[in-house]
Amino acid sequence: MTDQRPIPGEIPSDATVPKVVVNRLSLYLRELQRLESAGQATISSGQLGALLGFSDAQVRKDLGFFGQFGYPGVGYRCDELIRAMRDILGTNQLWPVVMVGVGNLGQALLGYRGFVRQNFRIVAAFDADPAKVGQSFDGITVRPMGELPAFVREQAVRLGMIVVPTEHAQAVAEQLVAAGVDGIVNFAPVTLTLPPGVQVVAVDLAIELEQLSFAVTSRLQTDSDSESATHADGASPADDSEPETEPPA
Amino acid sequence: MTDQRPIPGEIPSDATVPKVVVNRLSLYLRELQRLESAGQATISSGQLGALLGFSDAQVRKDLGFFGQFGYPGVGYRCDELIRAMRDILGTNQLWPVVMVGVGNLGQALLGYRGFVRQNFRIVAAFDADPAKVGQSFDGITVRPMGELPAFVREQAVRLGMIVVPTEHAQAVAEQLVAAGVDGIVNFAPVTLTLPPGVQVVAVDLAIELEQLSFAVTSRLQTDSDSESATHADGASPADDSEPETEPPA
DNA sequence: CGGTGTGAAAGTTTTCACAGCG
DNA sequence: CGCTGTGAAAACTTTCACACCG
């Protein structure tokens, strides 16, 4: 039991992996974690695909970018595949994250449990408003912007979240990069211009709604599957941020 | 000035438009709105693309799916193109939206100004927790789940936002659909299974971070442009939800 | 059997390149 | 001129189909 069986984390590292494949990887992982919690030990590409609205071939091809994980005639072992997916996505290690901007949305994100579950930890929050500095939310005390560079450097933080008003997002992004961050989740509805090598994931909540209004207006082809989950762009999130109880009807 | 000039809203409606094109349309619109506010009257495909990290040809091809909006030798008139984009995306009309789940994240979204600016209005919020019902957030009083069907029907609401804990998301989605909603933004990290014809946009905040950890781990090719905004998947959002002041350093 | 891994084919999206227009 | 609109080519992604394996 010391070997993990199929050619494991052999991430070919050269073959450029399409972004859309990495996105599906996250969906596979999410589903696998749910299945494992439910006690399922193995799953086939066809079953996994069906749960997410993809074909069996697509699941196999996607996994094929990273190695061989399956057992012919059996499928994939959930525990092994989860570990492999997390190795690939980088979430077997803990990622400290700094947040800038502690308004309503920032405060909500500070309490969001979904981050911790995937091994992300918001280790500090910064705000330029002196009235915010010193306040605590979910155990995190807001720090002044001046402390950002030293904190990022000393704690070797690589990821930052921007949750400030639009007009300050670009400047804050530059401060994060100057401090040493090389990955940013940007919640401000503006395109950031940053040096190459800095990775940005943008989340624009109004745009998500726009995509929906287009889709319902034009009855965009959903998928065509008789069953099937329609998932427009990225993935699906927001969860147990809090106890918004929901015993349906 | 009664005619809008180029073959306007001629949405070919048959030629199936790729989802990724619609996504870029939202980015074009966001940028155009910023440019117009800044007083710019016209813009070329090359300029617009450069601001977002796309090629001039891509901008023109994308617009070409919906009609002819440009003036050779000149470019596009910002005001006209904004109106056209909004017609296409459906946001020249006001969209009422119902929210289910008023936890931390739901409360933050109730106050998010970015929705209103793109013509979305959260007209009601529902929660199954009796302790939440009756409370008000940003002028919206939380209603009991039982009132959902009548409200959606009477107000002819087509869009819903799911902001409940994961385990209740599927059931809530079914209630929304039963009530008549045909477009859903799902913030719970689970894939919804719904009848065809119902549109779902999924937003999974943990997945966004996962995409980032993969990208910074593998130094994913960002774009290659010397300048350039790196935008991983969808769009970029979260903005002036509140007054999280940010006079950078 | 049932199911993986994978070349080859089909389909889709992006880039190229250029005619045409004001 | 500068820039659009658009066919045609290139690049990329998905689906097919099948050899192989336990």
Average of pLDDT values for A34-60? 98
Whether B220 has a pLDDT exceeding 50, the answer reads yes
Pairs across A and B, CB distance < 8 A: 471
Q: Indicate yes or no: strand D within 7 A of the C-beta of B74.
A: yes
What's the CA gap between B133 and B143, in Å, rounded? Answer: 5
Cβ–Cβ below 8 Å for B207 and A51: no
What are the structure tokens assigned to A139, written together?
Answer: 């155990």
Beta B159-162 vs B183-186: how paired, if at all?
parallel
Whether B162 has a pLDDT exceeding 80, the answer reads yes
CB A118 within 8 A of CB B206: yes
pLDDT, tens digit (0-9, with 9 covering 90-100), for B57-67: 999 999 999 99
**pLDDT score, position B1:** 39
Whether B116 has a pLDDT exceeding 90, the answer reads yes
pLDDT, tens digit (0-9, with 9 covering 90-100), for A18-32: 999 999 999 999 999
| Mean pLDDT, chain B, whole residue set | 88
Q: Which has the minimum average pLDDT: A173-187, B122-136, B216-230?
A: B216-230
Q: Indicate yes or no: strand D within 7 A of the C-beta of A57.
A: yes
- CB nearest B212 (choices: A172, A201, A206): A201
Task: List the single residue in B with minimal CA-CA distance to A209.
Answer: B185
With beta carbons under 8 A apart, name residues in chain A contacting B192: 229-230, 236
Average of pLDDT values for B152-170? 98
| Chain B closest-CA separation from residue A95 CA (Å) | 8
**pLDDT score, position B3:** 37
Q: Indicate yes or no: strand D within 7 A of the C-beta of B46.
A: yes
Which sign does the torsion angle of CA B236, A109, A200, A222 carry?
A: negative
What's the CA gap between A178 and B249, in Å, rounded? Answer: 13
Residue–nucleotide distance: B33 CA to D14 C1' (Å): 36
What string of DSSP letters covers A99-132?
Answer: EE--SHHHHHHHT-HHHHHTTEEEEEEEES-TTT
**pLDDT score, position B64:** 98
| Chain B closest-CA separation from residue A155 CA (Å) | 17
Beta A120-127 vs A140-144: how paired, if at all?
parallel
Specify the DSSP class assigned to residue A18.
P
Average of pLDDT values for A116-120? 97
Q: Indicate yes or no: strand D within 7 A of the C-beta of A223.
A: no
Cβ–Cβ below 8 Å for A166 and B224: no
What's the CA gap between B151 and A226, in Å, rounded? Answer: 29
Average of pLDDT values for B167-185? 98
